[in-house]
């Protein structure tokens, strides 16, 4: 069942995001259910009945159209943009990512939910590549970019340009500051041995995770920051997926081509 927001496409929580983060703490992985329950009590989720059509709200409607969520001080804490990446762009992303299958493999030993084989959907296709740490591990050396990861970065340049343009549209200041950091790093002669790596990096985002054929539990991304936008992009040929954000009380239809921008630390998600 999908619901459509009516009257407006801006939804508001009745709490302050900065106060929420102070209660949350910096190294929170979102896995402690008693603590998360206390957060929901202190910072209630959205009453969607005022935004959804009554019939859809009564049946737990899943939001299908674009919307933003703000805190009580009108800070935007979520952009949800279905269909922002066209089918042809998704095809290009999938084609480029096919070359990563050599380094997308199940870990042999689980050290947490991210390496837990039970979340993989297929023995052959499941996998995850996190950058830049795995990027370094997957490449013979920082000076030899001749592996599948380097090729993927080259093949994905246009896609990442679009990702950066999306960030520049929704948060120009964050995009400007991220671009400035890149220039500062390239001007720093003390890390000259890393300049080739920095030049090859195709985006202002400082890390990339490729999650392929996997599910996740409800969690928070502890290495994020509350004032950052992480960009979540979904591509594929599936027909039924839901992005769940219990902190907001929102379930959104997460179809191919959808982009969602929010702090993965601030908002617990699955």
Quick: pLDDT tens for 114-169. 667 776 665 444 444 443 333 333 333 333 455 788 888 899 999 999 999 999 99
pLDDT, position 139: 30
Quick: pLDDT tens for 214-254. 778 899 988 888 888 999 999 988 888 889 999 999 988 89
Q: Supply the angle between the helices 157-170 and 148-155 in degrees, to the nearest 10.
A: 60
pLDDT, position 47: 83
114, with CB counted inside 10 A (0-12, 13-18, 19+), is middle
Phi/psi of residue 42, each to 5°? -75, -30
pTM for the structure as a whole: 0.83
Q: Which of 205, 252, 264, 265 has its CA nearest to residue 81?
A: 252
pLDDT, position 209: 83
Quick: pLDDT tens for 1-51. 334 444 448 889 999 999 999 999 877 888 899 999 999 999 999 987 777
Residue 191's SS3 state is helix
pLDDT, position 101: 73
Phi/psi of residue 219, each to 5°? -155, 170
Q: Could you give the count of Cα atoms lying within 13 Å of 138 in the half-sphere of its Cβ?
A: 22
Q: Which of 68, 17, 72 has its CA nearest to residue 170?
A: 68
């Amino acid at each position: 069942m999908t619901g459509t927001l009516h009257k407006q496409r801006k939804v508001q929580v009745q709490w302050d995001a900065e106060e929420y983060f102070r209660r949350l703490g910096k190294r929170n992985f979102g896995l402690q259910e008693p603590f998360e329950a206390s957060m929901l009590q202190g910072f209630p989720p959205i009453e969607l009945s005022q935004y959804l059509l009554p019939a859809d709200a009564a049946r737990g409607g899943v939001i299908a159209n674009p919307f933003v969520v703000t805190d009580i001080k009108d800070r935007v804490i979520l952009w949800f943009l279905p269909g922002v990446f066209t089918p042809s762009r998704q095809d290009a992303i999938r084609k480029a990512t096919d070359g990563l299958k050599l380094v997308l493999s199940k870990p042999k030993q689980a050290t947490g939910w991210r390496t837990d084989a039970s979340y993989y959907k297929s023995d052959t296709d499941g996998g995850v590549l996190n950058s830049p740490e795995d990027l370094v591990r997957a490449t013979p050396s920082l000076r030899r970019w001749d592996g599948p990861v380097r090729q993927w970065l080259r093949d994905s340049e246009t896609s990442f340009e679009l990702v950066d343009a999306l960030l520049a549209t929704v948060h120009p200041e964050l995009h400007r500051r991220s671009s400035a950091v890149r220039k500062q790093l390239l001007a720093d002669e003390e890390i000259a041995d890393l300049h080739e790596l920095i030049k090859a990096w195709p985006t202002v985002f400082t890390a990339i995770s490729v999650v392929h054929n996997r599910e996740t539990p409800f969690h928070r991304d502890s290495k994020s920051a509350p004032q950052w936008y992480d960009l979540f992009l979904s591509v594929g040929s599936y027909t039924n997926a839901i992005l769940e954000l219990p902190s907001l009380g929102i379930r959104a239809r997460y179809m191919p081509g959808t982009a969602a921008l929010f702090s993965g630390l601030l908002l617990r998600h699955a």
